[in-house]
Chains A and B, each alone.
Chain A
C-alpha cells in the first residue's frame, strides 16, 4: 500500500475514533479541511446515503452535465466534481482497508462503477482540484488501476474501446452491453450481460425482496415463506429514492405501486413489472412545506411550479431476466430492461443516463447480493449444489 493510502486510512481511523457514523460525509470532512458548512440540519445515515447516491448519479451523467443541469430548483442538484472524487476515494479506502467499526455504506461494486464513470474526467477533476481543494487524482487513478487492472491514463475515454458498463470479474459480469433509446415521452434502457455463475446462485435476484442493495429502492416487501413457480403480485407501496442533492428529504422518497409477475422455470426466471407513482402517497406533500436544504441560496424561494404536488416517477415498466446461457454450462445471461420517464428536469433532461445508471446499479448490486446469499452454500461445491432447489 502506498503512503497516500496509509495516510488516508489513518485519517479515516481518526474519524472513526471520534465516533462519527460511517458515511460519505467523512469525505467532506476530510476534504474540506475545516471549511465551514453553513447548511442547516444534521447529517444522518440516510443523508449520507443520499449523497453517495447523488455522487454516483452525477458521475454517470458526466461533468459536462453540470452546466446543463437545472439550477433554479436545487432539490435534485448535481454534486461537484471535487466532492465526487473525494467521496469515491474515501469509499474506496474504506472498502479496501479493514478498519474496525467502519463499514462502507454502499456495495463495493458501486464504488467501482463510480470510478468507471469518472475515468474520462480525471484530468478535468485534477484541473479543478488544483484551483480549489486538495488534489486526490493520484489516489483515484491508483484506485481505478487496482479496480480494473488497467492504467486510467492509457484506457480509452470514449469510443468503442470503452464500454458503458465494464467487466466485473469478481462478480463474474462480462460482455455487458447497455443500449438506450429516447422516445417522445419515455426512455428505454436495456443492459444485457453474461454472468459466470450457476443459474441457481443468481436466479433469486429477480424477486423484489432481494433488491436491498440498490440505492434506488427502499421499503421492499418481505420474502414469503414459499415462492410458487408463477407469482402474480401487487406491491404497494414500495419506495423509489431519486438521486440528487445531499439530503434525504422526505419528498425524495416516492411511493410507487408495483404490479409484477414472475415466471420461474429450470431454464429461466423472469419478472415483468409495471409501476406508477401513487399521487397521494405517504410522502406526498407540497414541496413548499418541505425544508429544501439542498438549496444553496437561502434567498431563493421555491419555484411556483415546484410548489405543487407533482409526479416525479412517471409510469415505468420493464422486465428482468436470468436464464441459462446456451452452450455455457455454469453461466447465465442477465437482461434488465426498463422504460419510463421522470418528472424533475434534472432527471428528465438526463433520462437516458439516469435510467442507465439505475439499471446498471441494479445489475451490480443484485448480482453481488445474490452471490452473498449463495456464499454459505458454495463452501463445498458438490455438497452445496446437491441442495439446489428444483
Chain B
C-alpha cells in the first residue's frame, strides 16, 4: 500500500486510536479468504477462468452460496434431504423429536421424493431410507454437520427478509440497502450496532476503533472519528485494503439505535464517498422482534473499483447480516438448549 498523500489528508500520520485487533487473526484471515473467494467465484467464476456451470444444489450448496435462511433451505428439498438424512441415520439428530419445526423440515425434505408422504411418520421413514439407500450412509458413519447451516435448519424463523436487497447506482455512487426483522430483544441488539463492536460483523475488518481524543461519549451514545482497516483477499493474495477514517455518530434511546457514518478520508484516497447508517428499532406489536435496516453508499476513485463497488457493499451488508443472524441464533433461548448450540 502506498503512503498516504499529504495534501488532502488531514494528518500525515494517522492519529493514535484505541484500535481493537482480533486475537484470532489467522482464523479470520482464513474466513476472509473463503468469503471473498466465494463471492468472486459466484460472480466472476474461478480465478483460473473456469466458470461454474453446476447447479448450486448439486454442489455443497450451503457452503458455496452466501448464507441462507431456513425459509430458503426449506424451499430446496434436494439440499435439505442431503443435509438431514445423514444426521438422522447416524443419530446426530434425534429422530424422536416431535417439535413442529423438525416435523416441518422432514416433510419439506421429502415432499418431491418419489411418492409424496402423507404425514410426518412416512416422511421420516422415507428420509431414513433415502439416507441408507441413496446416500449409502450407515449408522456407524460419522457425520459432521455444518454448524451454521444446521442451526438455521432447526431454528425457528429468526430472520425475516421483509424487503428485497436494493442496489442502485447513480452518478457513480453505489447504494445498497437491506431491511430485515430479527427475533432478538432490542437491548441485546443495541450493542451489536456500536461501531466499536464491528469486529464481530465479519472477517473483512482487520482493525477498528475510535480515534483517541477525537470522540465524545454521551449518555445516549457517542460521536467522533473512527478508523477501520477493511481488507479484501482473493486466495492468498491481498487484492486491496482500505484504511478509512469515518465520522461516526452512534445514538440510541429506548426504542431505536442508529449508527451514522460518513467518510472523512481514506489513507490512500481510494474513496470519494463512503457513507451510510445501520438502524434497529422495536417492531410495534411484536415483542422480542426488531427491525434492522442498513444502507451503504460507496464511490471509489478508480474506475475498476467503482465497478466492484456495488458487489463489495452488498457483500459487506450480507456478511454483516449473516453475523447478526448468527448472533441472534446464539442469543435465542430455544437454541441454547439444543445440542448444536451447546457444541458452539
Contact = CB atoms under 8 A, between A and B. Distances in A.
Given A324-B260, A327-B277, A390 B220 contact: yes
Contacts, number: 54
Which of A198, A265, A266, A382: most chain B Cβ within 10 A? A266
A329 interface: yes
A169 interface: no
A268 to B, nearest CB: 10
A135 to B, nearest CB: 44
B119 to A, nearest CB: 50
A266 B249 contact: no
A388 B218 contact: yes
Contact of B220 (A266, A325, A327, A330): A266
Interface in A336-390: 382, 385-386, 388, 390
- Main DSSP-derived SS at the A contact region: loop
Contacts of A385: 216, 223
B121 to A, nearest CB: 52
Contact of B297 (A266, A324, A327): A327
Contact of A326 (B223, B253, B258): B258
B216 A386 contact: yes
Contacts of B297: 327
A390 B260 contact: no
Contacts of B132: none
B248 interface: yes
Contact of B252 (A198, A266, A325, A386): A266
A329 B249 contact: yes
Contact of A266 (B213, B221, B247): B221
A11 interface: no
Interface of A: 198, 265-267, 324-330, 382, 385-386, 388, 390
Top 10 closest pairs, chain A to chain B, by CB:
A329-B249, A266-B220, A390-B219, A329-B260, A327-B277, A385-B216, A326-B277, A329-B247, A266-B251, A266-B253
Interface of B: 213-214, 216, 218-221, 223, 247-249, 251-253, 256, 258, 260-262, 275-277, 279, 295, 297
25 contacts: A198-B223, A266-B251, A324-B249, A324-B251, A324-B258, A326-B258, A326-B277, A326-B279, A326-B295, A327-B262, A327-B275, A327-B276, A327-B277, A327-B295, A327-B297, A328-B275, A329-B260, A329-B262, A330-B223, A382-B214, A382-B216, A388-B216, A388-B218, A390-B218, A390-B220
